[in-house]
Chains A and B, each alone.
Chain A
Amino acid sequence: MFDIDKWQEILATIKKNKMRTFLTGFSVAWGIFMLMILLGSGNGLSNGVAANFMNDAVNAMWIWNGETTIAYEGMKTGRPIRFQNQDQEIVSKVSGVGVSSGRYFMGNTRYSYGQESGEYTTITCQPALKDVENLTLNEGRFINQIDILQNRKVVVIGTDIKTALFKDSVALGEYVNVNMVPFQVVGICSEPGSTRNRNAYMPLSTAQMIFNGSNKIHNLALTINASTLEESQVIEEQIRSALGRQHKFDPKDEGAIGLYNKLENYIQTMKIFQAIKIFIWIIGIGTLIAGIVGVSNIMLIVVKERTKEIGIRKAIGASPSSVIGLILLESIMITTIAGYIGLVLGTGLMEMINYFMMQSAGPATERSETIFMNPTVDINIAIYSTLLLIVAGAIAGYIPAKRAASIKPIVALRDE
């Protein structure tokens, strides 16, 4: 199969029909090119959306309070539910719940340092929030457990606040006045995928004490340990029933508490992308099949044209297998080489798009939300595609080769 003579024979026939070979190859190259473009775009979309999900922990869950909408145990609807510190303990005892943090929002808190001041949102929280919201610390540290226990007056400020109040000077260790109460800056953070970092974070316990929050919390942020949609829904139900027992509302009451299960969303979105990927493969393979049919068609014509030549070869001693090999190998060679050209052009184009996107997007820390990211095809796909091409070439050449092998020399020689 790999002797040099056979290749020379094939090259000779290909050289003889350059235009036809080119057109045949083009259909295959185009098929693979389109497949690569589609796969690359699909990947880009999928990567982009996945990256957006990564702005928070993928398995994050937020719970906020609401009003009952179902009468329960003799109580009317419309009863407000209020979360308190112990609710966090209740939720954290539910199996499958990872880390959790209660939050108490203080809108428009006035921050001032020296001559500079501004109003920002203060989120009072516990250390776990950093993991739930995937906060990035540029300097210093986040709120820790000791801050909570000792009700320390410390604050972690967003980069925008730091820039506004401190300009270029060092903020870490300085004291800022928060609603006239001095807090020490222990960290500077930013949220991934966000251009606005105008939030400040301080210990929940400190804030409740200083700013009259008593033991109220507004919402709960937590992570859950679930790998499937079903698991996460079970955890969700358990949380609802646990809080329902505490606050006496129907666990089926969707209005009593609000709950956002990011994992559920993530899994569903990823499922959509999986479907899109399958769809892309179907379209891509469909395009490729069109190419294969084209090659097969041309090879049939080639066999028809070469009937006499094949007859002569057989008359002077060519075995059927050598004739099959000749046609099959030519078909495989055309598809593989043409396919490879398509593959290289397709991936090349996607790499180029990726390169220019990177250029225009700027450094990763400043990148805003994008739904298109890294639209490239990985090496495995390229390898599979190559195998696919060889198989495709063999399939394309099979029927023509069989036809060639069945040519009877006398019939071929009679065919003037």
Chain B
Amino acid sequence: MISKTSRKHKAMIRLNNIHKSYEMGSNSLHVLKGIDLQIEQGDFVSIMGSSGSGKSTLLNILGMLDTYDKGTYHLSGNLISNMSEKKAAKYRNDYVGFVFQSFNLISFKNAMENVALPLYYKGVPRKKRNQIALEYLEKLGLKEWANHMPNEMSGGQKQRVAIARALISQPKIILADEPTGALDTATSYEVMEILKEINASGITVIIVTHEHDIAAMTRQIIRLKDGRIHEIIRNGELKEFQKSYIHGLEIQTA
């Protein structure tokens, strides 16, 4: 799997034969059946698959929100296994920024406070973290909305706040679970543009999606099927893929 070009980069994520099953009462559901995967620093990857293919589970394991049963997972060279909740929380805070389909903003905090929250858990003093939060909101064009509550904002704005929150702890990876799932097409493309820019700044971005046009905007597509990697589309093949799915975007951006 390690190609000459990727060897230059540091492997950000290395999965080796990852298995995961869920106990559902008496029967167990084997969700991931041996995933081998390497994602380099600075990659822009989408994970696709039908529902039940294990894509969300994979993302949760990558984000240390869930544990795996078998195999090894190295994140930035560190083995992630059986860590305490406290350690997992620290790793999440240091390495990963999450973007969710349903935004998951805290409803009784305004945009700025929501963005600043990861820094609270890092122990950054209130004034400083609010100031940093404002900077990030400005980057995402939401400075005027800093004091608004989430329920006063549109879906796109909420997702941008969520992205600002994911970015504020300066993570190595952004994990986005259906980031455009709750948004209309135009807003979806805006969000994708933002994610592209983030990726351009060197942060690894991994999104889970089932929309082909969204996936076509990434630089690598991993297709899951029945808990295994079905295919990895990149470079030449990706061009084909993009051709068949991206015209929607071109119409929008033209």
A interface residues with partner B (beta carbon < 8 Å) = 4-5, 12-13, 16, 308-309, 311-322, 405, 408-410, 413, 416
Contacts and interface: CB of A to CB of B under 8 A. Distances in A.
Most chain A CB atoms below 10 A, which of B60, B90, B94, B166: B60
Nearest to B105: A312
A321 B126 CA distance: 20
Contact of A12 (B104, B109, B126): B109
Interface string B163-174: 001100100000
Contacts of A405: 85
Nearest to A6: B120
B93 A316 contact: yes
Interface in B18-69: 60, 63, 65-66
Residue of A5, A16, A315, A413 with most chain B CB atoms under a 10 A cut-off: A315
Interface in B81-115: 85-86, 89-90, 92-94, 97-98, 100, 102, 104-109
Contacts of B216: none
A321 B86 contact: yes
Nearest to B103: A312
B210 to A, nearest CB: 17
Contact of A322 (B65, B107, B121, B165): B121
A150 B162 CA distance: 106
A405 B104 CA distance: 19
B93 A317 contact: yes
B227 interface: no
Contact of A413 (B94, B100, B108, B126): B100
Given A317-B93, A317-B121, A322-B121, A312 B104 contact: yes
Contacts of B93: 316-317
B92 A316 contact: yes
A410 B60 contact: yes
Closest 8 CB pairs of A and B: A317-B93, A317-B121, A319-B89, A316-B118, A410-B65, A409-B65, A312-B104, A320-B85
A317 B90 contact: yes
Interface string B4-28: 0000000000000000000000000
Q: Which of A13, A320, A413, A416 has the most CB of B within 10 A?
A: A413
Contact of B126 (A4, A315, A319, A408): A4
Contacts of A16: 108
B139 interface: no
Interface of B: 60, 63, 65-66, 85-86, 89-90, 92-94, 97-98, 100, 102, 104-109, 117-118, 120-122, 126, 165-166, 169
Contacts of A321: 86
A315 B120 contact: no
- Decide if the interface of chain A is mainly helix, strand, loop or mixed: helix
Contact of B98 (A308, A316, A408, A416): A316
A314 B108 contact: no
Contacts of A4: 126
Contacts of B107: 309
B89 A320 contact: yes
A13 B107 CA distance: 11
B104 A308 contact: yes
A322 B121 CA distance: 8
Contacts of A308: 104
A415 to B, nearest CB: 11
A223 to B, nearest CB: 70
Contact of A317 (B60, B108, B118): B118
Given A12-B108, A12-B109, A13-B108, A318 B121 contact: yes
A353 to B, nearest CB: 43
B106 A314 contact: no
5 contacts: A313-B106, A313-B121, A315-B92, A317-B89, A320-B85
A4 to B, nearest CB: 7
A316 B108 contact: no
B165 A317 contact: no
B85 A319 contact: yes
Contacts of B120: 5
B125 to A, nearest CB: 9
A315 B169 contact: no
A312 B106 contact: yes
A413 B98 CA distance: 11
A320 B118 CA distance: 14
Contact of A316 (B66, B102, B117, B126): B117
Given A315-B98, A317-B169, A322-B121, A309 B106 contact: yes
A319 B93 CA distance: 10
Contacts of A408: 65-66
A410 B66 contact: yes
A306 to B, nearest CB: 9
A322 B117 CA distance: 13
B106 A317 contact: no
A314 B104 contact: no
Most chain B CB atoms below 10 A, which of A13, A16, A314, A317: A317
A361 B165 CA distance: 70
B167 to A, nearest CB: 11
A271 to B, nearest CB: 54
A48 B101 CA distance: 71
A318 B91 CA distance: 11
A203 B104 CA distance: 96
